[in-house]
């Protein structure tokens, strides 16, 4: 299945889900039309708007209540712009890794940040790769006896960390990165097969 077919498939699924949900919530045709007309004013991408609308009303169901509905319609763009849709990710940690340059969850030039998010299970692998692929100079005979934090500090001081011949991202615990992002001002969810939804203030 090519990318367009995949997007079309999930667009149909989320659209159908949206209307089923509106039906379950007993939303009348008048209010439903107001929602859809507002959406058409601001969005051309079917895929994006169905995800945003469905996500919003599942998490903020009170906006569907009669007493809150006009306020929602009047602030439609502001509310929808809190959501960012990223198709093509089977796991939220893949999204965090690929969009780290955008959101700067982990500063890969800061050894303290790297230490904080380093995958504990991969420390030995990192050290072995380091010894086999990098010229460490006077550190070469000390690596095995060094505390990991001390080693990373020395690698940073000597500019080795920024110039590794292998991908440092592989050693980051991206699942933990997502967890920490969600305890800040992000909400990250994985929906409908291959899409990450990010809610941000």
Q: Cα(first)–Cα(last) distance of the chain, in Å?
A: 35
Domain boundaries, the chain: 3-88, 93-106+173-198, 111-171
Per-residue DSSP letter, 186? E
Q: What is the mean pLDDT of residues 170-196?
A: 79
pLDDT tens readout for residues 138-158 = 888 889 889 999 999 999 999
pLDDT tens readout for residues 97-107 = 999 999 889 99
pLDDT tens readout for residues 89-125 = 878 889 899 999 998 899 998 999 999 999 999 999 9
Strands laid side by side in the 83-87 sheet: 83-87, 195-200, 186-191
User: What is the pTM assigned to this prediction?
Assistant: 0.77
DSSP 59-113: H-GGGGSHHHHHHHHHTHHHHHTTEEEEES-SSHHHHHHHTHHHH-SS-TT-HHH
Which two tokens mark 155? 């690698």
């Amino acid at each position: 299945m090519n990318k367009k077919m995949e997007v079309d498939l999930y667009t149909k699924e989320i659209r159908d889900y949206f209307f089923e949900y509106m039906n379950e919530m007993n939303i009348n045709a008048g209010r439903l039309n107001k929602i859809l007309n507002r959406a058409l004013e601001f969005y051309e991408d079917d895929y994006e708007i169905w995800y945003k609308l469905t996500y919003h009303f599942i998490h903020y169901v009170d906006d569907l209540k009669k007493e809150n509905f006009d306020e929602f319609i009047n602030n439609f763009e502001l509310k929808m712009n809190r959501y960012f849709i990223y198709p093509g990710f089977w796991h939220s940690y893949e999204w965090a890794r690929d969009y780290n340059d955008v959101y700067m969850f982990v500063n890969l030039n800061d050894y303290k940040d790297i230490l904080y998010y380093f995958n504990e299970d991969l420390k030995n692998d990192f050290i072995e790769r380091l010894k086999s692929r990098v010229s460490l100079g006077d550190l070469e005979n000390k690596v095995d006896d060094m505390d990991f934090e001390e080693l990373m500090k020395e690698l940073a001081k000597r500019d080795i960390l920024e110039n590794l011949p292998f991908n440092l991202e592989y050693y980051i615990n991206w699942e933990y990165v997502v967890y920490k992002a969600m305890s800040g001002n992000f909400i990250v969810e994985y929906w409908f097969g291959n899409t990450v939804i990010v809610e941000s203030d």
